[in-house]
Amino acid sequence: MSAGTRAIPLAVSASVLLAVLTGCGASEPVPETEAAAGEGATAYPLTVENCGQEVTFDAAPQRAVSLDQNATEILLSLGLEDRMVGTASWTDPVLENFTEANDAVPRLADEAPTYEVVMGADPDFVTASFGRHYAEGGVAERTRFAETGIEAYLSPTDCDGDISVNGGGTRTNALTFDALYQEIRELAAIFDVQSRGEVLVEQLETRRQSSLEGIDASGLSVAFWFSDLKTPYVAGGLGSANLLATEAGTANVFADLDDDWPATTWEAFVDLDPDVIVMADLSRERWPGDQAAEKIEFLESDPVTKGLTAVAEQRYVELRGAEMNPSIRLVDGLEKLSAALQSFEGDA
């Protein structure tokens, strides 16, 4: 943070954490604290250094628009649906325990909205998980929002230093869970619900550690396949899906690729021959192969792919798109992947 940035006190007592966590299940919204409208812990004006830019808040936002499902589910986890006026860019149904809260928030678009649609919601704050929304050809550059007095925030999971990875940059440092936790804490501070943010981080971290107990997947290799039957988009070695492999102690066969989701060929897939294929099961129907059932049908019928070890052994792991993206659902993905790898260990 810059010299002019106010420190953000993030501590919450162990007794408060324990009391709240006892009543929380997996991916559940954090219960409200005593001061539902704000805890008074954030000192405004608050300035946050965000992906090479400074965003300053004179007060907690009251009319937020989230441009990605990942950002939406963090805000819902923090109990902020009453301060949301729009969501967009969905890959999957919202988490079941957020259904009622999410239904109360207008969906501006299933994909990326236009700038005019966003402005029609009259927001005072915009948050995004992917920098493409703020790049040329996206929703609008951050400076355009700033010109109208709207602060635009970008998830630290999309930032490599001061560069937006999905805004035209290249990731040079591997993503970690710390970036996700930073996003939660910063959003909680911006909205003055800091203890809720701490509880959510503690909840996710507890689940992350529990999912890794007793796993030894060092003898297995994996490939992560997000979409496209002709030129499969796979996980490179520095992004969120590769983080799942690293956490679970298995090897991503495409780890030498820098981009988060580069396109490859089936010939390369065959040459690397992963033991396990982790595939996205997307609710969207943008391209053939978005659904896991289509992916499996292709793998088992195509003459190039049906001889793959993972196909012959039917070692598939199906994850939601949001569980392979940098979001709170990464922990859900890690739990599913770890459980599957443990079941495959004896087959390798």
Q: Where are the domains of the chain?
A: 14-210, 216-347
CB 327 within 8 A of CB 92: no
pLDDT at position 23 is 38
pLDDT at position 29 is 57
Backbone φ, ψ for residue 249 (5° rounding)? 80, 25
**How far apart are alpha carbons 81 and 62 in whole angstroms?**
10
- CATH architecture of the domain formed by 14-210: 3-Layer(aba) Sandwich (3.40)
pLDDT at position 186 is 98
For the stretch 112-134, pLDDT in tens is 999 999 999 999 999 999 999 99
pLDDT at position 346 is 59
For the stretch 226-236, pLDDT in tens is 999 999 999 99
pLDDT at position 38 is 78
pLDDT at position 288 is 81
Q: Choose among 66, 96, 25, 82: nearest CA to 335.
A: 25
Within the chain, which residues score under 50 in pLDDT? Answer: 1-26, 33-36
pTM (2 d.p.): 0.87
**How far apart are alpha carbons 212 and 339 in whole angstroms?**
9
pLDDT at position 292 is 95
pLDDT at position 36 is 47
pLDDT at position 143 is 95
Q: Which two tokens stand for residue 12?
A: 């919450």
Please name the fold of domain 216-347: Rossmann fold (3.40.50)
Beta bridge partners of 48: 55
Backbone φ, ψ for residue 201 (5° rounding)? -60, -45
Beta bridge partners of 104: none
For the stretch 216-255, pLDDT in tens is 888 999 999 999 999 999 999 999 999 999 999 999 999 9
For the stretch 271-288, pLDDT in tens is 999 999 999 998 877 778
What's the CA angle centered on 80, arms 76 and 83, to 5 degrees? 125
